[in-house]
A and B are shown apart, each in its own frame.
Chain A
Amino acid sequence: MTTANDAEIADLYPPPPPYYEFFTTQNIAKANQWIKQHEIKKNINNGEEDEDEEQVTEQNSNNDGDGKTNNNNEQLKLPTGTFASYPDDEIRFLLPPPKPEGPTYRLFGNIWQFEDKMPSLKEMGVEQLYNDDVKNQDEVDDKNMITVEEEKEKKEEEKKEQEVDSKDLVENPNDELSEEDSNSSLKRINELKKLFKSLLLNFLELIGIVSKNPTLYPEKLEQIRIVLINIHHLLNEYRPHQARESLILMLQNQVTATKKEIAEIKRGCQMVEERLPKIVGEIMKNNQLKKSFDEKHQPDEEKSQNNELVTSIDSLKLAAADDLLKALE
């Protein structure tokens, strides 16, 4: 049974690629040498920083036995699109493939960007409704126009109560523009509030439209969609800011925790240092007592007295040890 099962499981997985046999220690060394040569040549050609080269050679010497990690390290150093210049023998299989060209690559049916950044709304083809205070003034003005236009549309459709909202929406950006750059997050908060208000407004409008002329709803839905995308985008743009803020908080917590720990340790040590002389003094006293007992009493009684003394000293010792432990905890 088990062997049959094993065979079934083995059938599930494809055999390793045939070129795995090329990964011998010799070949790995050769490949590393090739990369090193190539790297140096490239450095001379492109006049790259010396630091990089040093790092590469260091890695080579460190990872000679381990070709895989080495190759991974080298991957970014290799020039792009030079498959043709790769060696013809089996070492070719040991070298990582060159980096694909262009800003994007495809993987599992998705298109990915090499650069790890957040695409702006414009790049995603979504209308941006909020002010982008980091960008230049013209763009900001453009966006103001958009917001104003939108609000006008809304005003036509909506009642007095909502007009108050719209006025807020229009007035705010002007206030913000006069503010300083350091308050960019504050502006962002205001933009966020505006977007949420706009969302509510749009929902009311949607209800109104559906109750009067249900066939017109898709347009409104699309507007709500855009507002939502904008909100999410704005929130996600805020994330790095929050991450830094969280980091600050964590650092502060760690500093205070460590300080507290130090204070506790010091307090414990101080307590022990204060008590030790006392304990030593007590022991000395007891010793003297014992001596006086020795002188005064007869041998018969002496024995029992001695036992008592030993136990009392023992208990003292235990108490002292207890104190120590407590203090040091």
Chain B
Amino acid sequence: MADRLTQLQICLDQLLEQFCATINYVNTNHDYEPSDNEEKMADKDANVADPKEFKDTMNELSTDIILKTRQIFTIIESLPGIGVSTKDQLDKIESLQNELLLVQKERRKAIKEKNNLLDWCNSMINSVSDDIVETARFS
């Protein structure tokens, strides 16, 4: 099973990266908005994005953030062992451990039986082949 907590932490990191990317995009691509009666500023070096493109990108970035958040919430919902107390977990581990020991014992037994059967079959095959050799010799 994938480690949900690590997944969650990775998602958190990604979310923060998206935050940074969003702010960075706004910071580098924004247009200048004059306030009140100011003259609109212009900067030749500024990398001002086309208004439509700017809006689209903003939409995309915010959608990404929302999607990432939804993903995070889904992962939180599916965290293992919700509503199970530590004692329950430990009890379950112990019972499973005992069961595993029993099953392993049974497995060893089954393997032993299989080996016995295999030995018996081998002896059978040997005796059959011996008989064939005998018949071939006498005929």
Hey, which bits of chain A sit against chain B, CB under 8 A? 181-186, 189, 192-193, 196, 199-200, 203, 206-207, 210, 228, 231-232, 235-236, 238-239, 241-242, 244-249, 251-252, 254-255, 258-259, 261-262, 265-266, 268-269, 272-273, 276, 280, 283, 290, 294, 302-303, 306, 310, 313-314, 317, 320-321, 324, 328
Least CB distance from B21 to A in Å reads 12
In angstroms, Cα B136 to Cα A313, docked, is 11
In angstroms, Cα B76 to Cα A159, docked, is 27
- B residues 18-67 with Cβ under 8 Å of A? 19, 22-23, 65
B80 proximity list for chain A (CB < 8 A): 242, 245-246, 249
Least CB distance from A215 to B in Å reads 15
Whether A196 lies near B72 (C-beta < 8 A) is yes
Residue of A nearest to B113 (CB): A269
Residue of B nearest to A197 (CB): B69
The 4 nearest A-B residue pairs measured at CB: A245-B81, A251-B96, A245-B80, A182-B85
Whether A186 lies near B103 (C-beta < 8 A) is no
Chain A's interface: helix, strand, loop or mixed, by majority?
A: helix
Whether B90 lies near A200 (C-beta < 8 A) is no
Residue of B nearest to A313 (CB): B132
A200 proximity list for chain B (CB < 8 A): 65, 69
Whether B114 lies near A268 (C-beta < 8 A) is yes
Hey, which bits of chain B sit against chain A, CB under 8 A? 1, 3-5, 8-9, 12, 15-16, 19, 22-23, 65, 69, 72-73, 76-77, 79-86, 88-90, 92-93, 96-97, 99-100, 103-104, 106-107, 110-111, 113-114, 117-118, 121, 124-125, 128-129, 132, 135-136, 139
A186 proximity list for chain B (CB < 8 A): 82-83
Least CB distance from B110 to A in Å reads 5
Given A186-B82, A207-B23, A245-B80, residue A258 in contact with residue B114 (CB < 8 A): no
A269 proximity list for chain B (CB < 8 A): 110, 113-114, 117
B1 proximity list for chain A (CB < 8 A): 246, 249
Least CB distance from B67 to A in Å reads 13
In angstroms, Cα B96 to Cα A252, docked, is 7
Whether B100 lies near A254 (C-beta < 8 A) is yes
In angstroms, Cα B127 to Cα A283, docked, is 12
Given A192-B76, A269-B117, residue A261 in contact with residue B93 (CB < 8 A): no
A247 proximity list for chain B (CB < 8 A): 93
23 A-B pairs with CB atoms under 8 Å apart are A183-B83, A185-B82, A189-B82, A193-B76, A200-B65, A228-B12, A245-B81, A245-B89, A246-B3, A248-B89, A251-B100, A258-B106, A258-B107, A262-B103, A265-B107, A265-B113, A266-B110, A269-B117, A276-B124, A283-B128, A290-B135, A310-B135, A324-B121
Whether B9 lies near A302 (C-beta < 8 A) is no
In angstroms, Cα B22 to Cα A120, docked, is 33
Whether B92 lies near A258 (C-beta < 8 A) is no
A185 proximity list for chain B (CB < 8 A): 79, 81-85
Residue of A nearest to B103 (CB): A258
A283 proximity list for chain B (CB < 8 A): 128
